[in-house]
Structure 1
Amino acid sequence: MARRSVPLNTIDAFLVTARHLNLTRAAKELCLTQGAVSRKIASLEEWLGFSVFERHARGLHLTPQGSALLPDLQAAFENLIEVADRACHKPDVIRLKAPTCAMRWLVPKIIELEQSSPEIQIALTTTVEHGVNFKNEPYDAAIVFGPHARAGTLLFEETLTPVISQSLLNKAASAQDALQRFTFLHPTRDRTDWSLWFADYPAGRLAMSKNQHFDTMDLAISAAIQGFGIAIADETLVAEDLRMGRLVRPFAHSVKTGASYRLTVRTGSENAAGLEAFCTSLLGIS
């Protein structure tokens, strides 16, 4: 008999009835009449060429053929449901906007989150902008940065400190000598961040004779790792680089800038459940 003629619509009726061994309870679970369930089972038996149930006054019993058939049909039917469930399941996709300066901190968090919660996917958009307007932008969440950022939940405050590769520092007589000898790496097109640190540095300000400017802090940090010079960077953003030995802090002194990184979310997002899990995970591992 051709494969297409297999009465697939009768298999569920057989499996449910085999579990209950009672037409009334099977019909109730299937939301059918007892007569409809009986007809489905009769149709299956006709196709198989043998009976799967023996009818008794007190209920039903599986025939030897029915008992032999049941385990394989149960496994096949459960596999079919699992395949269909995987096909229709759509992961929660969180549309996240974040400034490029936060990537060194954010990317490891996203990797950890997606490994621990594979049902959550992050669609990350990076930008040099430091804010978000949920009325005009299609994001579920955003990391914002700035001296006046107050909305959302605080992730961390910006705290600046000089960083340098160990190999480059080894070429200087001291940390103070490194400031005098090597190129100052600036995370912006001006000298604001270095100026803030020097203004709070007990030993006073030095002349910054050799300078290299970058568009983002991440680029300045990468240049410092490669031994290009000494950078001014946020303690949180370089924490992993310091832990791994890619960079060292030549000075214990640091200065808070008054700026902060915050997590903001769109109210009424269609991905509410996934967004809640994302926020909980991100804040929990921050």
Structure 2
Amino acid sequence: MSRALAPILDHVRAEPSRTWSIIVTIYGDAIVPRGGSVWLGTLAAIFQRIGLSDGVVRTAMSRLASDGWLERTKAGRNAYYRLAGKGEETFRRATAQIYSRTAPPFAGHFEMILAEPAARPALEAAGFGSPAPGVWVAPGGTVPPDGLEGAVRLSAGGDAAANRALAARAWPLDATGAAYARFLDAFAPLRAALDAGQTLADLDCLVARVLMIHEYRRIVLRDPVLPAEILPQDWPGTAARALCAQVYGALLPGSERWLDQHAVDADGAPLPPGPEVWRRFAA
């Protein structure tokens, strides 16, 4: 195992992550671009490098299949798992957020909605935050959800300091910023090692890539991705995305080479490469 990978494994083992959650990351990051189905042995090889047993992986796969996220087929004694229809739209949205979503420009005002508590799930899903009970705000231009009968819609804003203060009350930016800072602390040594010319084995490239995206997605999927003008100064999310993009690009050749050689479908054929992975973090 490369010296650069060991600290990452230590970091992941110290976090309250579960095997099934890492499997979801593997599918979204590496398997879905190649068609969505893979031999269980391919996943077992990845998890052996992480340090998890085949039994733990099989249990997690069975749980995901029981919950409707994966579909299981067999060819002889070999099991293959494909992403089920339930997960396709979820994976599509998550992919857009993780690899492509950048902060929009600030329109200079907030959309403000006064709504009943029952509207909370729909407003949160649409990207609105709440600075006070019954009050919801989002950067100007955010499209409110349907079904807000009786809600009052306003436009609000102030100077730069007031806008930042409103955003800080509406969204848990302190917690999100702290999570990004921990991500930077965990993966900056890997970037430094790669910058210094340290090379990783192809499987180590894939493991590092998957674990980095696993940690990153746990933050970014909860991040409202607000315009820079209303975020705190020196927002760590900006540096985290830059690090993730740089390291991801460095790990892609080796990790994709390992998948080319080891990832097979239910017919025993190599999974075809997914060209879209080379365009990730480009925007």
Same fold by TM-score, threshold 0.5 exceeded?
no
Which is greater in Rg? 1
Answer 1 or 2: higher relative contact order, Cα 8 Å, separation at least 6: 2
Higher strand share: 1
What TM-score does the superposition give when structure 1 sets the normalisation length? 0.25
Normalised by the length of structure 2, the TM-score is 0.25
